[in-house]
Structure 1
Amino acid sequence: MRSALKAALMAAAILGPQMAWAEPLSSGQTLYVPVYSHISHGNLDGRGKASELLLSSMLSLRNTDPSHAITITAARYYDTDGRLLRDYLAKPLSLPPMGSSELFVEYKDTAGGSGANFVVEWKSDRPVNPPLIETVNAYFFGTQSVAFTSPGRPISPNP
């Protein structure tokens, strides 16, 4: 028992800074969220091009506040050149306390290019824990798989 406690304390000391991810309360933000619709890999071919692997991307929207709802007011999808491809929300999306939702970009959707991104806006009628908004980029076929997350980054507070 004593060694288990020692191991837990050591892990807390090492991981402590990474575990403290709490952000100040907020009543809204605009977030930039990278989307990797494809990744380059392998060696360059005779024309100087790398192989590309198409990925699907799920935009994960998670309300981390245990007491108050938030509203996702926009989820706009942009391509590598910054052109708006589509707005995923026809109307605001309410997420209850600890609720979540997701939006999906199919792997065959190559319009975004390698620099695709979402711009997500959210708000609340009172200061709340900021939501966790990220993409899960994935490819699964047979015995091959690739999956990784891309966290959203605040680019401005909402007025």
Structure 2
Amino acid sequence: MRRMLLALALLLPALPALAEDVRPSAGQTVYVPVYSHIWHGNLDAKGKPQMLLLSSMLAVRNTDPDDGFTVTSVRYYDTAGKMLREFVAKPARLGPMASTDFFVEHKDDDGGTGANFVVEWKADKPISPPIIETVNAYFFGPHSLAFTSPGRAIVK
């Protein structure tokens, strides 16, 4: 049974992704999870797990081959929901198939385990919505960890 579960776990990432139901949009507010640190390992004598600090890169990728859009806001929040900073001083235009990114340093643990970005964008007409996600990473010495966190459109 263990071998079957292990085989299944190894094969699932190789399967083709199912197509999403993507609808054109003229703008969205997108929530994106961030992991500025994660708990891991066993609990110590005080009942606390070990903490691993991660860097996080927010990627905003225009998937529309014909039209651009404007990123109007990129806010970074901590676990308690307190806004830590706004990354966009003035609206930034992204052309067709263009991308931009925003970075939270490895040493910045202010966000906590429940940190998040809220990204707002708008277009002049309905377009293919962008892909907005974070890449959370740790690369030091022989140890490395990297994973993505997809954004999800929310109702504001």
How far does the alpha carbon of each residue in 1:5-59 deviate from its partner, in whole angstroms, 9 at most, with x for none? xxxxxxxxx63xx341351000000010000000111000011100010000000
Paired AA for residue 47 in structure 2 = G
**Local SS of the residue matching 1:115:** coil
Note the C-alpha offset of 1:71.
0.6
CA distance in 2, matches of 1:121, 1:37: 21
CA distance in 2, matches of 1:40, 1:56: 14
TM-score, normalised on structure 1? 0.87
Q: Does the alignment pair 1:74 with 2:77?
A: no
| Alpha carbons of structure 1 residues 22 and 64: separation in structure 2 relative to 1, 3 Å | farther
CA distance in 1, matches of 2:124, 2:78: 32
| Alpha carbons of structure 1 residues 24 and 33: separation in structure 2 relative to 1, 3 Å | same
Which position in structure 1 is the counterpart of 2:110? 111
CA distance in 2, matches of 1:74, 1:156: 15
CA distance in 1, matches of 2:53, 2:46: 20
CA distance in 2, matches of 1:110, 1:54: 7
Paired AA for residue 66 in structure 1 = P
Q: Which is higher, the Rg of structure 1 or of structure 2?
A: 1
**Superposed counterparts of 1:21-60, under 5 Å:** 21-60=20-59
Which position in structure 1 is the counterpart of 2:120? 121
CA distance in 1, matches of 2:150, 2:108: 21
Which consecutive segments of 4 or more residues in structure 1 shift more than 2 A?
none
Paired residues in the alignment total 142
Note the C-alpha offset of 1:156.
2.0
Q: CA RMSD in A?
A: 1.1
CA distance in 1, matches of 2:151, 2:91: 19
**Local SS of the residue matching 2:106:** coil
Paired AA for residue 33 in structure 1 = V
CA distance in 2, matches of 1:19, 1:73: 30
How far does the alpha carbon of each residue in 1:69-128 deviate from its partner, in whole angstroms, 9 at most, with x for none? 011100000000000100000001111000001000001011111110000000100000
CA distance in 2, matches of 1:117, 1:86: 11
| Identical-residue share of aligned pairs (%) | 62
**Local SS of the residue matching 1:90:** coil
- Structure 1 unmatched runs, 5+: 1-13
